[in-house]
A = this chain, B = another copy of it.
Amino acid sequence: MRGRSDVLEPAILGLLHETPMHGYELRKRLNLVLGSFRALSYGSLYPCLKTLVARGWIAGEESPAAPPHALSGKRARIVYHLTAAGKEHFQGILASSGPASWEDENFDVRFAFFAQTDAETRLRILEGRRSRLTERLETVRQSFHRTRERMDEYTLELQRHGLEQVEREVRWLDGLIDNERGVRPARPTGTDRPVDADHAEGAPRPGSELKERG
C-alpha cells in the first residue's frame, strides 16, 4: 500500500481548515486522522509546516499562549491558520478526485474531510475507490487460483484473509454509497456491530450488511 504522495500535507490543511492550532496539538489530532494509529514524528511535522508557510498556504503567529491561570511566561506557541490561498488550495485538493485519491492512504485522508466537500465529489471518490478495490480483487483472486497448489497453508491463509478484508471494505463502501444517494439501507444484519449503541440521526449509516457464508 504505498502509492503515497504526501498524505501529511492535505491532512494538515484539513485540520487547520477546521480550526487554528499549534504544532504539538496538530500532531495529536493527526495521529487520529491518519487512520492507522501510527505515531507521526515531529521530525516530519515541523519541516512540513515550514514548507507550507513558505508556499503561503498557512501562516503562524506566535501567541504568548494565554494560559488559563495567566501569568507572563509559558513558552510561546506558534498557532498556525490557513491563509486565503491555503483555503483555495485545500478546496482544490478536495475537488480533485482523480485516480490518486482512491489509493489507500490518500483515500483515508480524503474521507476524513468529506464533511468539507459536496455530495457529488464524495460520490465520485467513493465510487472510484470501489472500482479500484474490485479491480484488485480480480487480480488477486486470479493469482490465488493459479498458484494455490504451489503454496503452503500459511501463505494461502494470509491471502484468503487479505481477500476477505478487501471484500468487506467493498461492502462498506456500498453502504456509504447507498447512503450518499439518500437510500436508507435496511437494518444491518447484525454482524457489523456499531462501536457504540446510540447514533445521531442524519449520520452516514453504512448498512454494512454482510451475510455469513459457509
Contacts and interface: CB of A to CB of B under 8 A. Distances in A.
Interface of A: 1-3, 32-33, 35-38, 104, 108, 111-115, 136, 139-141, 143-145, 147-148, 152-165, 167-168, 172, 176, 190-196, 200, 202-214
B191 A2 contact: no
Given A160-B194, A168-B168, 18 more contacts: A1-B37, A3-B38, A32-B155, A35-B158, A108-B158, A111-B154, A111-B158, A112-B158, A115-B153, A145-B196, A153-B202, A153-B203, A160-B208, A164-B193, A164-B195, A167-B213, A190-B212, A193-B212
B214 A209 contact: yes
A113 to B, nearest CB: 8
A153 B37 CA distance: 19
Contacts of A202: 153
A131 to B, nearest CB: 15
A38 B212 contact: no
Identify the 6 closest CB pairs spanning chains A and B, nearest first.
Answer: A157-B206, A1-B38, A114-B154, A115-B152, A1-B36, A191-B191
A32 B211 CA distance: 28
- Stoichiometry (number of copies): 2
A111 B143 CA distance: 19
A43 to B, nearest CB: 13
16 contacts: A1-B38, A32-B155, A35-B162, A36-B104, A36-B162, A37-B136, A115-B152, A144-B195, A153-B200, A153-B205, A153-B206, A163-B210, A190-B212, A191-B191, A209-B214, A211-B213
A190 B192 contact: no
A200 to B, nearest CB: 7
Given A1-B37, A209-B214, A204 B164 contact: no
Contacts of A196: 145, 148
